[in-house]
Amino acid sequence: MAAGFPDGFVPWPKDTADHYRAKGYWQGSTLGSILRDGARERPDHTAVTDGERRLGYRELDREADRLRAGLAARGIRAGERVLVHLPNIIEFVPLCFALFRLGAVPVLALPAHRETEIVSLARLSGAVAYVIPDEHAGFDHRPLARCLRERVPSVREVIVVGDADGFTSYGDVVAAAPSRPKDGTTPEPDPSEVAVLLLSGGTTGLPKLIPRTHDDYHYNVRASARVCGFDEDTRYLTALPMAHNFPLACPGMLGTLWAGGTVVLSTGANPHDAFRLIESEGVTATALVPPLALAWLDAAEQGAGRPGTLKLLQVGGSRLKEETARRVGPLLGCSLQQVYGMAEGLLNFTRSDDPPELVLTTQGRPLSEGDEVRIVAPDGSEVPDGEVGELQVRGPYTIRGYHRAEEHNATAFTPDGHYRTGDLVRRLPSGHLVVEGRTKDVINRGGDKIPVEEVENHLLAHPAIHDVALVGLPDDTLGERTWACVIPGGTPPTRRELLAHLTARGVAAYKHPDRVRIMDDFPRTGLGKVNRRELARRLREA
Ligand code: OOB
């Protein structure tokens, strides 16, 4: 293993890496450098705002440097992992840059995550610090931090934005920093090293961490920003949580700052608040998952107005229905772009000069010439265009392995380094892809990925449950909705009891089943395994 790589990182083969450098995909730039040009060229241009507070490029750049020094002063070192559990608040942005510059690796948890997910992410990453808001959306994060420190001893530092209540406050970390770091004390990280650990939405079982290097993620950001035409006039609204790859880097917050534009932060995406923010901040672009796009369309149709300045609406995360796609232009007055991506890497975009039919009916085509996409039958042979198969990919910004997951990597990747996406797609002659389904045991609930096995295990721990199967059923709004099919072991539990049980176990709310169905037995396969397809069919019929 190459020096400087944390254990468990699977690098690209050397000749492939050389090729990516020769092609200019990898430029040796660090993510922390993204702000530097902006700070030099347009120091007073607003880099980030939440509609009230504004940070110019120079100010943001300096805050990131001070925070880097403050974190270093608190003993956080290059290569260590920091679990970041923040909603879309301003501090998220300088914190990311501070960590990138320090060479410490942010692990980006979603705001909806609770004890179960947070403990497992901290363990898996070996996080040394945990960064939280005091309270957000009615949830006090400090008791969770206390519990985390007890359960995961590697976490030695908790940093709180707001009232620290005995922990370290974010403000103190910034203030404690030496005003001018001494020369030579702040070496830049090596661009081929891991810059950030993203969460996987696409795997079965326990969550996996996705190591993205400075080189590959910088390219991801740059190429996305170019394809979307982002520039200094771009005003990008983060309607989805920035911890997710899509609003973070496709082009998202990082792409907007790379292009010299302005990031407008929102902690929610309900159409009324979002439309107001779009109007007052002159937002030009944003990204949504299909159920939110639907909510915005319905609101516009019902007279909530139009997000007047919006030029580009990106939609991705789960399959957008054609009927919904067709309403975007007329109702929102902006262009639609479909984005089919994954935190593991590959991104597909429809392009602004694509024929309208392709924009409405496909999930786009690969971002880069360097993306090697193949669509294969179950026997591994490639299928012709037009036929459905599993998408496999390798390329300059697609990982070669999950973080510390040797066993899983052996099946998640092919021997020649392709990532098996588990997505069933078909390719049109134009190269555009249509997502038709999935081979993995993950339910895609409006872009939120629900690992079936994990939720089943939590439910099985309930004393009134003998056996359980979680299935996704088609749903007009969410794409899929979750049904927990329960074989009771005594008095059948109610859905309320089960939700209380999951909440008590600290399972994020988006994983809670939408419906509970009590059954005597499940349909089984010849081998006695639960026949999920048949189960779903019976539920649909009932
Ligand atoms: C995005 O990333 P993840 O990592 O949360 O989930 C990836 C999976 C894909 O493998 C696919 O199953 C599904 O989400 N997906 C879509 C889709 N976009 C993602 N399925 C159908 N249509 C789409 N447009 O979800 C993500 C990452 C970057 C950009 C956009 C989405």
Indicate if 303 and 282 belong to the same structural domain: yes
Ligand 1 atom closest to the CA of 423, numbered from 1:
12
Q: Answer whether residue 173 is part of any domain.
A: yes
Q: Answer whether residue 22 is part of any domain.
A: no
Could you say which of 221, 249, 268 is where a domain stops? Answer: 221
Mutate to test the pocket of ligand 1, among 197, 289, 318, 346 (most ligand atoms within 8 A of CB): 318
Separation of CA 480 and ligand 1 centre (Å): 14
Q: Whose CA is nearest to atom 20 of ligand 1?
A: 318
CATH code for the domain of 129: 3.40.50.980
Separation of CA 164 and ligand 1 centre (Å): 36
The whole-number pLDDT of residue 180 equals 62
Indicate if 293 and 389 belong to the same structural domain: yes
The whole-number pLDDT of residue 3 equals 41
Separation of CA 247 and ligand 1 centre (Å): 12
pLDDT in tens, the chain (542 residues): 344 445 679 999 999 999 999 999 999 999 999 998 899 999 999 999 999 999 999 999 999 999 999 999 999 999 999 999 999 999 999 999 999 999 999 999 999 999 999 999 999 999 999 999 999 999 999 999 999 999 999 999 999 999 999 999 999 999 987 766 555 457 889 999 999 999 998 666 667 999 999 999 999 999 999 999 999 999 999 999 999 999 999 999 999 999 999 999 999 899 999 999 999 999 999 999 999 999 999 999 999 888 999 999 999 999 999 999 999 999 999 999 999 999 999 999 999 999 999 999 999 999 999 999 999 999 999 999 999 999 999 999 999 999 999 999 999 999 999 999 999 999 999 999 999 998 888 999 999 999 999 999 999 999 999 999 999 999 999 999 999 999 999 999 999 999 999 999 999 999 999 999 999 999 988 777 789 889 999 999 98
Q: Which whole-number Å values give the CA distances from 25 to 29, 99, 432, in the listed order?
A: 10, 23, 22
Q: How many domains does the chain fold into? A: 3
Q: Answer whether residue 73 is part of any domain.
A: yes
Separation of CA 318 and ligand 1 centre (Å): 6
Ligand 1 atom closest to the CA of 338, numbered from 1:
24
Q: Answer whether residue 351 is part of any domain.
A: yes
Q: How many secondary structure helices (H) and strands (E) does the chain include? A: 18, 27
Separation of CA 231 and ligand 1 centre (Å): 25
The whole-number pLDDT of residue 172 equals 97
The whole-number pLDDT of residue 203 equals 61
Ligand 1: residues with CB < 6 A are 201-202, 245-246, 250, 316-319, 338-343, 347, 363, 421, 423, 435, 438, 444, 447, 449
The whole-number pLDDT of residue 187 equals 84
Q: Which residues are bridge partners to 372 per DSSP?
A: 394
Separation of CA 343 and ligand 1 centre (Å): 8
Q: Within its chain, how far is the Cα of 434 from the centroid?
A: 21
Separation of CA 182 and ligand 1 centre (Å): 43
Q: Answer whether residue 127 is part of any domain.
A: yes
Indicate if 417 and 448 belong to the same structural domain: no
Indicate if 290 and 325 belong to the same structural domain: yes
Domain that holds residue 96: 31-221
Q: Whose CA is nearest to atom 14 of ligand 1?
A: 317
Indicate if 120 and 205 belong to the same structural domain: yes
Indicate if 252 and 195 belong to the same structural domain: no
The whole-number pLDDT of residue 4 equals 42
Indicate if 431 and 334 belong to the same structural domain: yes
Q: Whose CA is nearest to atom 5 of ligand 1?
A: 201
Residue 460 to residue 75: CA distance in whole angstroms: 42
Could you say which of 169, 197, 221 is where a domain stops? Answer: 221
Mutate to test the pocket of ligand 1, among 209, 340, 424, 480 (most ligand atoms within 8 A of CB): 340
Q: Which whole-number Å values give the CA distances from 274 to 140, 280, 292, 295, 311, in the listed order?
A: 25, 10, 11, 11, 15
Residue 280 to residue 481: CA distance in whole angstroms: 35
Separation of CA 393 and ligand 1 centre (Å): 14
Instruction: Tell me the percentage of the chain whose pLDDT exceeds 70.
Output: 96
Indicate if 403 and 526 belong to the same structural domain: no
Q: Which whole-number Å values give the CA distances from 442 to 207, 344, 375, 421, 480, in the listed order?
A: 11, 15, 20, 12, 11
The whole-number pLDDT of residue 8 equals 77
Residue 349 to residue 339: CA distance in whole angstroms: 5
The whole-number pLDDT of residue 224 equals 98
- Reduced to 3 states, what is the DSSP secondary structure of residue 453? helix
Could you say which of 438, 456, 471 is where a domain stops? Answer: 438
Q: Answer whether residue 505 is part of any domain.
A: yes
Residue 21 to residue 335: CA distance in whole angstroms: 34
Separation of CA 178 and ligand 1 centre (Å): 42
Indicate if 129 and 244 belong to the same structural domain: no
Q: Whose CA is nearest to atom 16 of ligand 1?
A: 318
